[in-house]
C-alpha cells in the first residue's frame, strides 16, 4: 500500500513513522517548504525528539506529487487549513477518489462543521464511503516512542473502518472501531477548550479539586452540545471524549494545557501562541465552541468564560470567580 500523508507536524510525523515501520510506502506533503527541506535533509523533526524518518518515507513540496498514485490519504493539517486541503484533494482525485482519513481535531469557525462534515461537503455525497476519522488520547511524543496508546476509528462505511483498524494497528498502537463518526470528531475537538481552562486553573495555583470539577463539568458541556451536532452522548464516555480529555487536561505535553498556563501567567493570546511555537488548536476551537453554544442556545459556561478570557480581556481570576458564582442547579448527567 502507498499512503499519501498531508501535514508534517509532530502528530503527522509520529503517525508516518508508525505507518512506515509497518512497511507502507509514505509520501508526505506540507505547506511549510522549509520543514520539508529539513525533513528531507536530516530525516529528523525539529520539534519531535526521537523521530527519525525511515527510508520508505518521501517528502514533497507539491501536494499533487504526494497523492499521485496512492491507495490511501491521511491528513494532519490545521483546523483553519483543512477545507483548503480538502478542496485541493478533490480537484486532484475527483476522477478516482481513494479513502481519506482525518486525524486532525477541530471544529470550523462560522459554519460550526465538524471535520467529517467538511469532508462530506467538499468531497461530495458520492464519495461519502471514502471518509474516515481517527481520534483519541495520543500525544505524538509518546506514539513516536512506541508507548502503549489506544485510539478510536470511525467512518460512514463499515468496510473502511475495518481498513483503518488494519492499517494503523500495531503491537503498541491499538485502534478500536466505532460507528459514531461525528461523536469521535466532536470529542477530539472540544476537549481542547477544557484543556485551556484547566491550564489556566493550574497556572493560577488552584488545586486538583478545581481541575477535577472543570474536567467533569466540561465533559457535561460536551455531552449537552454534542446532541445538537447529531452525536451520541455515550461516545464521549470513551477514548475520543473522556480519554482525550484526561490526557489533554493533565499533561504538559498538551499545547492547549500549556497555553492556558501561559495565559494565567499574564501573557497575551499572541504572546502565549508564540511561546508555544506550534499551532494551539484549542484557541481556534474555543471560538467555534462558543459560536455553537450561541447558535443552539445551550449554556456552556466553561467554554463561555474561556472565550471571554481569550477574546474579551476577562481576567483569568475573574473567570474562575464567575463560574463559582453561577446559580447552583441539580447535577444532571
Q: What is the mean pLDDT of the chain?
A: 96
Domains of the chain and CATH, by start: 2-181 (3.40.50.720), 189-324 (1.10.1040.10)
* Catalytic-role residue among 93, 191, 229, 232: 191
pLDDT of residue 7: 98
pLDDT of residue 273: 97
78 pLDDT band, cuts 50/70/90, is: very high
Q: What is the mean pLDDT of residues 8-36?
A: 98
pLDDT of residue 326: 75
For residue 78, which of 103, 50, 111 has the smallest C-alpha distance?
Answer: 103
Q: What is the mean pLDDT of residues 252-280?
A: 96
Higher per-residue pLDDT: 329 or 259: 259
Q: What is the dihedral of CA 206, 210, 215, 220, to 10 degrees?
A: -140
Q: Name 254's Cβ contacts closer than 8 Å, sequence gap at least 6.
A: 139, 195, 199, 247, 248
User: Is residue 231's pLDDT more than 80?
Assistant: yes
**Catalytic-residue membership of 47:** no
The pLDDT > 70 percentage for the chain reads 99
SS3 for 77?
coil
pLDDT of residue 323: 84
pLDDT of residue 333: 62
62 pLDDT band, cuts 50/70/90, is: very high
Higher per-residue pLDDT: 333 or 300: 300
For residue 187, which of 214, 221, 156, 164 has the smallest C-alpha distance?
Answer: 221
pLDDT tens for 101-112 read: 999 999 999 999
SS3 for 205?
coil
Amino acid at each position: 500500500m502507498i499512503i499519501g500523508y498531508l501535514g508534517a507536524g509532530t502528530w503527522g510525523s509520529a503517525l508516518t513513522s508508525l505507518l512506515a515501520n509497518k512497511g507502507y510506502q509514505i509520501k508526505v506533503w506540507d505547506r511549510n517548504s522549509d520543514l520539508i527541506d529539513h525533513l528531507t535533509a536530516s530525516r529528523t523533526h525539529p520539534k519531535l525528539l526521537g523521530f527519525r524518518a525511515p527510508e520508505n518515507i518521501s517528502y514533497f513540496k507539491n501536494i499533487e506529487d504526494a497523492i499521485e498514485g496512492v491507495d490511501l490519504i491521511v491528513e494532519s493539517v490545521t483546523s483553519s487549513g483543512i477545507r483548503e486541503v480538502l478542496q485541493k484533494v478533490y480537484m486532484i482525485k475527483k476522477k478516482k477518489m481513494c479513502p481519506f482519513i482525518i486525524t486532525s481535531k477541530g471544529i470550523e469557525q462560522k459554519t460550526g462543521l465538524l471535520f467529517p462534515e467538511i469532508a462530506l461537503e467538499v468531497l461530495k455525497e458520492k464519495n461519502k464511503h471514502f471518509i474516515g476519522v481517527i481520534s483519541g488520547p495520543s500525544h505524538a511524543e509518546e506514539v513516536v516512542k512506541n508507548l502503549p496508546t489506544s485510539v478510536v476509528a470511525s467512518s460512514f462505511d463499515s468496510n473502511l473502518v475495518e481498513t483503518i483498524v488494519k492499517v494503523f494497528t500495531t503491537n503498541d498502537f491499538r485502534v478500536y472501531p466505532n460507528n459514531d463518526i461525528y461523536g469521535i470528531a466532536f470529542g477530539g475537538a472540544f476537549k481542547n477548550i477544557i484543556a485551556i481552562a484547566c491550564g489556566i486553573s493550574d497556572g493560577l495555583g488552584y488545586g486538583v479539586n478545581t481541575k477535577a470539577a472543570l474536567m467533569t463539568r466540561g465533559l457535561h458541556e460536551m455531552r449537552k452540545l454534542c446532541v445538537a451536532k447529531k452525536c451520541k452522548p455515550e461516545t464521549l464516555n470513551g477514548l475520543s471524549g473522556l480519554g482525550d480529555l484526561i490526557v489533554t487536561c493533565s499533561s504538559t505535553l498538551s499545547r492547549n494545557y500549556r497555553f492556558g498556563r501561559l495565559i494565567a501567567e499574564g501573557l497575551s493570546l499572541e504572546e502565549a501562541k508564540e511561546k508555544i511555537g506550534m499551532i494551539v488548536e484549542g484557541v481556534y476551537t474555543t471560538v467555534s465552541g462558543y459560536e455553537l453554544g450561541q447558535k443552539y442556545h445551550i449554556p456552556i459556561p466553561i467554554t463561555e468564560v474561556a472565550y471571554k478570557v481569550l477574546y474579551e480581556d476577562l481576567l483569568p481570576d475573574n473567570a474562575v470567580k464567575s463560574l463559582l458564582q453561577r446559580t447552583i442547579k441539580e447535577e444532571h448527567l
